[in-house]
Structure 1
C-alpha cells in the first residue's frame, strides 16, 4: 500500500514538472470547509427536509435520516474528498487516473451536474423574481386586490385546500410567478421577466467563480454564514407567535408506526443524498485544491453534521410558523397542506408578511435563498 501510494505521487509530481500548470489551493482550510458546507447546505434543507418530517411522522423521521447520515452520507463525502485530494484533479481526470475504466464515472458526474444546473437555475430565477417583487411599497402577496388574483377564491390568510380558498401568497405563486395555464395544451408565451431573471442568475454565478478558487474562498464567508443569521432571526420571531409551541411539538413528537413504512426510509435516503450533493463530482473538484496533508476525515464529518444540523434548525423555523398558522385557524398542525416549493414560496412569504417592516425582511430572506443557491451553484459550475 505504501509503495503504491508513493509511486502514484511520484507520477503526479513528474506530470507537474513536465509542463502541466500548478493547481491552485485554498488560501485557508476554513475556506474549503465553508465552501463545502455552502455547497451541501442548499434549498432542500430549507423546504424539503421540513416537509418530509411533516409527511413522515415528525420526530420519527429523524431515526432513519440520521442512520443514513452515518452509514451513507459521511462515507460517501469522505470517499469523494479523498479522491480529489489524492489526485489533485477534477472528477473526469481523477477517476481516469485512478482507473481508466472509471472514466465514464467522471463523465457521468459532469452530465448529472449539467442537468442539475438547468433545474436549479429555474429556482434561482424564481428567487430573483420574488426578491425584485419585495422591493415594492407593499408586498404583492399581502392582498387580493391585484390583477392576477381571483377575488372569489382569494384569502389574505393561509388556508387549507378543502376550503376552496387560496391565500394571496398562493395565488401570487401560481398566477403571477408561474402563470399556470388551464392545461398542457395551453403552452402560454415567453415570460420575459423570468427569462431576464434566469439570465441574471447565470451572470451572478459567473461573477462568483470567474476568478477561480481564490475568489470563491472569499465569497463563501458571506454565502455560507449569512443564511444562518436570517434563519436565527426568523426563529426568534416565529417562536414568539401564538401556537408556535404546538408546531415544534408536532415536529419533535415521533409517530413510531411510520417507521414500519418503507417509504419513510426511502425518503430519508433520498433526502440526505440530494441534500449533501454526492455524486455530482463537486466535492472531488473542491478537495482537489487541498494540500495533501489535510485531515479530510475530520472535514467530512464537519460537512455532514453541519448539513444535517441546518436541516433540523430550519425545521424549527418552519414548524413554529406552521403552529402559528394552525392556531389562527383553530386547526391541528397536520391539517395544514404544505409541501415542495410551496413551502419556500408560499409559507415563508406568509411569515414575512406578519413581520414588522415586511419588505426589509422579505428582501433579506430572498437574498438568503439566493446565497444558498449560489453556494450550491458556484461549485457545481466551477
Structure 2
C-alpha cells in the first residue's frame, strides 16, 4: 500500500495514507528514531565537561521549554495534516519552506550518520579477531611511538610520573587514527579511500535499504528488534560496569555538581544543542511518523512517555560509560579526565581501551559495537523513511505503480552512499566534522523551531490548532504546552539562536587543527542551505500570490488544508457521535487566521471565539 498524502481524505476513489497496524508501532518507531548514538557518547561527555550534575539543570530546563513542546508540535502537525514533512506545512502556506529545510537537514544527517555506523561495523568485525588489533603494537599502522595501553611498563611509568611516555601514543589511539581512519594532516589532504570503511559503509546502506524497502508496515516490524535489543545490551553493560573496581569513582565524577559552571554561557548552549539533537527535532522525522497515526490518537501520552525514555537512556548510559572509565582510571593510576574523550572518541577510543582490561574482551567488544550499530541503525532507516515519504507525497500517483518506490529508494540510498565516500578517505573525518558542526547544527534546529511555533501559534491560530489537538487526543492536554508554543518556546529558541551565533567559536578538530578559510566558507554554505528555504519560499509565495498586498498576505497565511472531513478517514469514525462530527466540521470550516493585531483577543476575548465555544461543547 502506497503512502500517499491525501487531497480528499476518506472519499471513495482516493488512496488512503498508510497507518500503523498497531498503536504501539508509532511509539516504537519514534523511540528507535531518536534514541541513538548521541545518547551514548554525547550526553555523558557533555555532562562531565559542563559541571557534572550541574549540567542537568539547563538540560532539564530546555527539555521542558524546548524539546517537549516542539516534539509534540511536530507530531501533532503530521497527525493533523496526514502528510509527511514536505507537505504538512500547507496548513500555513507561507512557511512551507520548513518542509524543504527539514528534509535537507535529514539528508545531510543520514549521510554522515551512516559513516559513524560504518565505524561501528569496522570495530565489530575487528573484535572477532583472536587478539584485539588495538591491544598490540607492531602492526602495519603503528608508529615507533606506539605503546600498549595497560602494559606493565606503562603502569610503572605512571607510578613514577609518566615521564617515559609523555611523547608516546597509545596503541588504541593509533588504531583509531592510523588503522581505521588513516587520518591525514588536514581537510586539504583527502588522501586514499579506506577500503575497509568503504565496504562497511556499503553494508550499512544495504541493511538500511532492506529495512525500509517494503514500506512503513515492514519498517514498524523491524524497529521492534532494533529499538529494544540495544537497550537490553546497554543494561547488560551497565550491570557489568558498576561491578568493576573503581566504577564508583567514575560515577561520582559523572554526577558531582560544579555549580560555578552554570555561569558559563557555553554550558547552556551545549545543553540546548544536546536536547534538540537527541530528540531528533527539526528533521521531519517526527512529523512524518505522526502522519501515519489515525486522526483520533492520543499522541500526547506517547510524547510524554517517549521524552522520559529519551532523557532516561541518556542518563543511564552515563552510568554505563563512566563506570567503565572509572575502572580504567584506577587500573592505570591516572585521573578520569585523562581517559575520557569527547564525541566519537568516547566510543572508539575510551571504550576500546577499557575492553583490553576486561576478561573476554572479544565478547564485550562485539556486544558493545553491535549495540552501537543497532542504536544508530534504527535512527538511520527512520530518517530514510522520512526522506522517501517526502518524494511519495510530492508525486503520489507516480509511486502507486509497482516497484517505483523501491527503485527510487535505491537511487536515494546510492546518492547518500556516494556522498559518504568523501568521509571514508584519509581526510574524511574532517569532512564529517563539518557536517556534524554545521549541516545539522544546533542553530539550524533553533531557527526552524522558532518558525514552526510562530507559524502554528501566530498565523494558523493557537486556539484553532489547540482545539484540533484536543479533538485528536480526546481531551485537553496540560495548557502549558499551548503557551509554550505561542510564547515561551519562540522566545527561548530565538534567544539561544542569537547567543549561539555571538559565541560561535572557530571550527577546529580536536582543538589542535584549525580549518582553512575555504572549508569554513563551505561549512557556512551547508548551514545556510537548509535555513535559507524558509525566507526564500515566503518571498516566492508572496510574489506569485494575486491581488494587492493585503490580499496576497491573506492568501499566503490561509490554510490550504480542508479539514472539514478530517474525522471521516478514521476507522473509528463510524462509532463517533453524529453531533460531534457536525460540531467538528463547523469548527473546521470557520478556520480563522490570527495576525499581530489579534494577539490580545486571541487569548482574552474567548466569548467571541467560535473555536473556543465549539471546543467547550466537545470537551466539557
Deviations 1:30-83 (A, max 9, x none): 221111011111111100111101210111101110111111111011001101
SS of 2:282's equivalent? coil
Give yes or no for contact 2:145–2:169 (8 Å, CA) kept in 1.
Answer: no
Which deviates more, 130-139 or 68-77?
A: 130-139
1:40 aligns with 2:43: no
**8 Å CA contact 1:153, 1:164 repeated in 2:** no
| 1:1-382 equivalences in 2 (<5 Å) | 14-17=8-11, 19-96=13-90, 98-157=91-150, 163-382=166-385
Q: In structure 2, how many angstroms separate the alpha carbons of the residues matched to 1:33 and 1:64?
A: 26
Q: For 1:153 and 1:235, how far apart are their aligned partners in 2?
A: 31
1:332 offset after TM fit, Å?
Answer: 2.9
Q: Distance in 1 between matches of 2:321 and 2:271?
A: 18
**2:370, 2:86 → 1: CA distance?**
33
Deviation, 1:198, is 1.4
Alpha-carbon separation, structure 2, partners of 1:357 and 1:331: 24
> Contact between 2:148 and 2:171, CA under 8 Å: does it hold in 1?
yes
Q: Counterparts of 1:226 and 1:359 in 2: how far apart (Å)? A: 19
Cα shift at 1:311:
0.5
1:313 CA displacement: 0.5
Question: Does the 8 Å CA contact 1:58/1:251 hold for their aligned counterparts?
Answer: yes
2:601 is matched with: none
Deviation at 1:187, TM superposition (A): 2.6
Q: Secondary structure at the match of 1:264?
A: helix
Structure-2 separation of matches of 1:270 and 1:184: 25
| Larger mean Cα displacement after TM superposition, 266-275 or 220-229 | 220-229
- The structure with the largest alpha-carbon Rg is 2
Deviations 1:344-370 (A, max 9, x none): 111122233333332222222222111
Structure 1 268/185 Cα, relative in aligned 2: closer, same or farther at 3 Å? closer
C-alpha contact (below 8 Å) 2:137/2:146 kept by paired residues: no
The separation in 2 between residues aligned to 1:153 and 1:193, in whole angstroms, is: 22
Change (3 A) 1:354 1:29: farther
Deviation at 1:151, TM superposition (A): 3.9
8 Å contact kept, 2:247–2:324: yes
1:279 is displaced (CA, Å) by 0.1
User: 1 or 2 for the larger relative contact order (CA 8 Å, sep ≥6)?
Assistant: 1
The answer on whether the counterparts of 1:65 and 1:268 sit within 8 Å (CA) in structure 2 is yes
| Offset at residue 118 of structure 1 (A) | 1.2
Matches of 1:353 and 1:212 in 2, distance apart? 42
> 1:18 Cα shift?
6.1
Work out whether residues 251 and 319 of structure 2, in 8 Å CA contact, stay in contact via their aligned partners in 1: yes
For residues 268 and 68 of structure 1, the distance between their equivalents in structure 2, rounded to whole angstroms, comes to 7
Residues of 2 paired with 1:119 and 1:185: CA distance?
A: 19
2-structure distance, mates of 1:287, 1:130? 35
Q: How many residues align?
A: 371
d(CA) in 1 for partners of 2:231 and 2:29? 15
> Would the aligned equivalents of 1:95 and 1:103 in 2 still touch at CA under 8 Å?
yes
1:219-254 superposed Cα distances (whole Å, 9 cap, x missing partner): 111111111111111112221222111111111110
Q: What are the ranges of 5 or more consecutive residues in structure 2 without an aligned counterpart?
A: 386-620
So what's the TM-score if we normalise by structure 2? 0.57
